[in-house]
Chain A
C-alpha cells in the first residue's frame, strides 16, 4: 500500500517537474549532491542511487546515466531524482565490472546548470540480500518506540521484525550466523527480559541467560561458523554524561566477562582466563575457521573511578576447540592499542579469514558516542593495521560487519549530522583496497533522512529475508516461560 502511495506521489512529482534541460549553463565542477555518490563503487544488485542537490535551493534536478554501450537512464524530480528500479537493475547488470557516467543538471532561479559528469563503478562482487538493524532515537537511558527491521538492499522495502509496541521493553543485539537468518539471536530487555534464539527449525525459544556463576545476562553475541556455539559477553554497564564535550555520553563497563554458549547442550562454557576481575573482556568474535576467539580487553578501573579516558581496550585472541568446546590456555595480544593511547571496539573478521575490521577511538568501548572513532583494517596474514581512509569521515564510524563474500562492509556513521547514525557501505578488494563509502539508498534520501529521527543501530548483513514472525515472538516474550542457561 505504501509503495503504491509512493509511486503515485513520485508520478505526481515527476509530472510537476517534467521539462527538458534548456539553455543550461555549463559548470566546470562536478555537482554537489546528497548523498555524496561521486566516485563510489557499488554492488551490481544495489537499489537505485536516488539523490538530491546538496544545497536545497534547486527547483528541479535532472540526471542522465550513461554507459559505454550506449544505454541511457534518465530521471528528473523536484526534490530528488528517482530511477526506475527495473531499468536501474538492467543497466547495472549490463555494466558489471564497468563504470557508469552520471550527468546532473539542476534548475535554480536563474535557470538550468549542467555539471561535469561523475562516474560510479559497478563491482563484479554482489552484496547480500539485505541488512538488519535496530531503529532507535540516539538517546541516553529511556527509549521510545523502537524495533528491529530488515531492509532489502536491491529495493527500498523495509519491514519490522519486531517492535516494542508488541511488548513492554526494548530489543537489542540482533545477531545472525554469517547473515543466515535461520540462526539468530536477539535480546529483550525490561520486564519481559529474555534472549530469543532461533535455530534451523524456525522455532523461537526464550532463554534466561543469567546464571549464578556469571556477571548477569548475556550481552554482545557472535555465532560460531558451525552454528553450534555463540560467544557472549556479560557486562555491568553504566552511563555518564558530558557537561561540555562534543561527545554527549560515555557508556562504560564496570565489569565484564566472556563465555561461550553451546547451543546443542544448552551449556555455558566458562574460562578463568576470560573472567578476570582486574580485566574487562568484551566484544567476542570467532575467527573465520572457528578455532580462535578474538575479543577486546582492558585493565579494569579501580572501583568508583571515573577516569574513563584511561580505559584502553586491546585486541586479544584465545584458542578455541570447536570439537570439545575448550579454550586454549594463553591469551595473545594482537593489537596493543593501549600503547598507542587508543582503544579498540567491534572486531569483525572477514569470513574468508583475510582481514579483521575494527573501530579505533581514543578510549572506552562504546565508540558510537565518540566523534573521533574510525574504522581500521588488520591484515591477518601480515599483522599490519591501517585506517580505512576512504571509508572514514571526520565524524563517528562505529559498528560494522562483512558481507558473506567478504567483499563489502556495512558500517554505521554519524557523518551526516553528527548525531543520527546512518548505514554506509564500502567495497574491499582482495588487496585490501577500500572504496569510498556510500550511504544506504533511499527513494528520496534527503526527505527520508530528514524525517527519520531514528538511528540505524548495529547494521548487519542478512543473506535472505528473515521471515521473523514478530507477533509469534511477542507471544513467546509475553509468556513467562524461560529456558535457563546451564553452566558446564
Chain B
C-alpha cells in the first residue's frame, strides 16, 4: 500500500510539474520578475527578522529559479507533493485516502494567482513537517513543554499558519478544551508582537508575506491550512469506518475521484488570459521578436500588453507599416499606452520606449513600475534596465550601483560583471550594438513630458536622428491609429531616406484614403502607389456605397486594411 501511495503522490507531483511547465510557465516568469534575491546578509536579515521570515526566505530563494520555468515547475511539484505526503502522515486516512490530496490541491489553486507567494507554501510545509516530528514523541510533559517552546519558534519561522501545529497536536478530543488554552498563549504572543514589529498589526494574524498585496487576506492559503485540520478531524471521527477496509481499489477510487474532481475545477479556474499576457511580456523582455510574430500569427492578441508587444515586435522586424492592421489595434493604448501607477502594465511600454531611444522616458517608466511593486520587493528586470538607461545617459555612478547589486544575484551576476566593464568606457559604449545605437537615438533637445507619449515626442525623437526608423514607424503608426491623416500625409515623406524600397502597404492605404477624402484621387495614379492598392480602395469605396455595406461586411472583406480600422474609429 505504501508503494501505491508513493505512486499516487508521484502522479500528483508530475501533474503539478507538467501544469506549470506547459500551461503556466509565464506565471513563474512573472513571479521571478518581481523579486530580486540577493546573496547578501542585510537582505537576508531584513527578511528573517519578521515573523514567517524563514519560510519567506526559502520562498524567495526558490522563486529566483523561476527564471527557468521547468526548474520552477519542478520545485512547485516537489513542494506540493511533499505537503501531500506530510498530510498523509497526520492521520490514518484508510478509505478516505483521496482526501489527503485536498490541502495540496488547494495550495495548487492558491498558486494559480500570480500574486500568491511561495513563502506561504513553505510555511505550510514547515509547519506540517514540525507536526510530523512531534508525532514521533509520546504524549507527556517533555512533548508538551517542547510544544510550548516551539510555538513562538515556529511562528517566527513560518508565520501565523504555524497555528496548524497546535490544531494538529491536540492530544485527543476529550482534552481539547483544556488543550486549546494554548491558543491564548498564541494570541498573547501576537498582541505583544504587534507593539514592536513595524507592520500592520492584522498582518501578524494572517501573514506578512504569503501574498504580494500586504492588505489582502490570502484566503485560499488559509482554506488549505484549515482543510488539513478539518479533514484530519473528520477522518479521526470516522477512524474505524475509514480503516475497516484496506482494499487497493478503494484507495485508487478515492484518489481518482479527488484528482479528477479538483483537477477539473483547477483547470477551469486557471487564468490563461493572464498567462498569455505574461507570455507576451516575457518574450518582449527577452527580445524574442520572431517568436512574438509567430505567436501573434497563431492567435491575435486582444489585450493591452499583447497589442503593445505585438506592435513592438512588428516594428523591430520592420513589419509595422505593412502588417499592423492585420492584427487587433486599440489606438495609442496599444502602441504606447499612458503610464499607469502599477507594477505590471508599464513594463512592456517601457520596453518599447527603450527600444525607440526614449531613454529618459523609459527610465522613469521602469522606475515607477518597480516602486509600485506591492510588497516593496525589487525587480531584477527593472534593475537591469535602470542600470542600462543610466549607462546610456552617462550616469555611470548610478548605473554602477545597480550593477553591483546585481552582482549579488545568482543569474544576473555574469551580465552585471560584463556590463561593469562598459562604465566610463566611452569607446566601448559607442561600439556597443545596443547601447551605442540607443545613445545616438536618445533625445538631445530637452522638453517636459508627463504620463503620456505624444506624437510630438515621437517627431522630436525622429527629427533628432533621422536614421531612427523605429521612431519613424511609431510616429506614422500613431498618426494612423489616431486618424490624424493630415499630419500623416505631411510627414510620411520623411521616410524616403530610411531604406524603404516602396511605400509600406498601410501607408499607401492611408495616403489613398487621405487623397480621396481631400478630393485628390488623381494622386492615386502616382507611381508610389501600388495599382493593386488603388484598385482595392476603389472596391472598398464601392462596397461602402453598396446596399450590402455593413460593419461586419467591412470586417470580412477589408479587415486587414487601414480603411477598415479608420472606419471603426470614425464611427
Residues of A participating in the B interface, judged by any CB pair closer than 8 Å:
1-2, 5, 9, 137, 139-145, 147, 160, 162-163, 165-168, 239-245, 248, 250, 306, 308, 416-420, 450-451, 453, 470-471, 474, 478
Q: Which chain B positions have C-beta within 8 A of A168?
A: 215
When distances are taken between beta carbons in the complex, the residues of chain B under 8 Å from A239 are: 450
Instruction: Evaluate whether A165 and B401 lie within 8 angstroms (CB atoms) in the complex, with A243-B445, A243-B446 already known.
Output: no
* In the bound complex, CA of A471 to CA of B401 (Å): 33
Which B residues are CB-close (under 8 A) to A167? 200
Q: B196: which A residues are within 8 A, CB to CB?
A: 471
Whether A240 contacts B448 in the complex (CB less than 8 A), given A144-B373, A165-B200, comes out as yes
The binding surface of chain A is classed by DSSP as loop
CB distance from B465 to the nearest CB of A (A): 12
A243 is contacted by which of B198, B370, B449 (Cβ under 8 Å)?
B449
Residues of B contacting A9 with CB < 8 Å?
A: 41
Q: Known pairs A5-B41, A165-B214, A306-B448; list 5 more (Cβ under 8 Å).
A: A139-B367, A141-B368, A162-B198, A166-B200, A453-B378
Inter-chain CA distance A236–B67, complex, in Å, is 44
* CB within 8 Å for A242 and B446 given contacts A451-B40, A471-B198: yes
Q: Are B443 and A243 in contact (CB under 8 A)?
A: yes
Check A241 against B341 for contact (C-beta < 8 Å).
no
A474 contact from B42, B200, B361, Cβ within 8 A: B200
Q: Which residue of B lies closest to A474 (CB)?
A: B200
Q: How large is the interface on B (under 10, 10 to 19, 20 to 34, 35 or more residues)?
A: 35 or more
* Cβ A139 vs Cβ B450 within 8 A: no
Cβ–Cβ contact A140 & B215, under 8 A? no
Distance, CA A453 to CA B450, complexed state (A): 24
For the complex, what is the distance from the CA of A434 to the CA of B417, rounded to whole Å? Answer: 42
A239-B364 Cα distance, complex, nearest whole Å: 12
Given known A-B contacts A241-B448, A418-B395, A451-B42, A470 and B198 have beta carbons under 8 A apart: yes
Contact (A139, B397) CB under 8 Å given A248-B360, A451-B40: no
B239 CB-CB contact with A under 8 Å: no
Contact A419 B448 (CB under 8 A): no
Q: What does DSSP make chain B's interface, helix, strand, loop or mixed?
A: loop
Beyond A9-B41, A165-B214, A451-B405, is A419–B395 a contact (Cβ under 8 Å)?
yes
CB contact list, B384-415 vs A, under 8 A: 395, 397-398, 401, 404-405
CA distance A165 to B203 in the complex (A): 10
Q: Which of A144, A147, A166 has the most CB of B within 10 A?
A: A144
For B370, the chain A residues whose CB sits under 8 A away are 144
Residues in B with CB closer than 8 Å to A147 are 198
* Closest-CB distance, B189 to chain A (whole angstroms): 15
B residues in contact with A162, CB < 8 Å: 198
Q: Are A244 and B443 in contact (CB under 8 A)?
A: yes
CA distance A147 to B199 in the complex (A): 12
A450 contacts B401, C-beta separation under 8 Å: yes
Interface residues of B in 29-65 (CB under 8 A from A): 40-42, 45, 49
Say yes or no: A250 contacts B448, CB within 8 Å: yes
Determine if B148 is an interface residue (Cβ-Cβ < 8 Å). no
Q: A142 near B41 (CB under 8 angstroms)?
A: no
Mark interface residues in B285-297 (1 if CB within 8 Å of A CB, else 0).
0000000000000
CB-defined A-B contacts under 8 Å, sample of 16 = A9-B41, A139-B368, A142-B368, A144-B371, A163-B198, A166-B198, A239-B450, A240-B450, A243-B358, A243-B443, A243-B448, A243-B460, A248-B364, A250-B448, A418-B395, A418-B397
- Is B152 located at the chain interface by the 8 A CB criterion? no
> Measured between C-beta atoms, what is the minimum distance from B446 to chain A in Å?
4
Give the distance to chain B from A300, nearest Cβ to Cβ, in Å: 18
Q: B376 contacts which of A145, A240, A418 (Cβ < 8 Å)?
A: A145
Contacts of A163 in B (CB 8 A): 198
Contact B376 A417 (CB under 8 A): no
Residues of B near A245 (CB, < 8 A) are 446
Check if A144 sits within 8 Å of B447, measured CB to CB. Answer: no
Q: Are B199 and A165 in contact (CB under 8 A)?
A: yes
Q: Which residues of B contact A471 (CB under 8 A)?
A: 194-196, 198, 201
| Bound Cα distance A200, B69 (Å) | 58
- Partner among A144, A166, A418 whose Cβ is within 8 Å of the Cβ of B398: A418
In this complex, what residue of A is CB-closest to B386? Answer: A453
- Taking the closest CB of chain A, its distance from the CB of B390, in whole angstroms, is 8
Contact of A244 among B49, B198, B360 (CB under 8 A): B360
| Cross-chain contact of A240 among B42, B341, B401, B449 (Cβ < 8 A) | B449
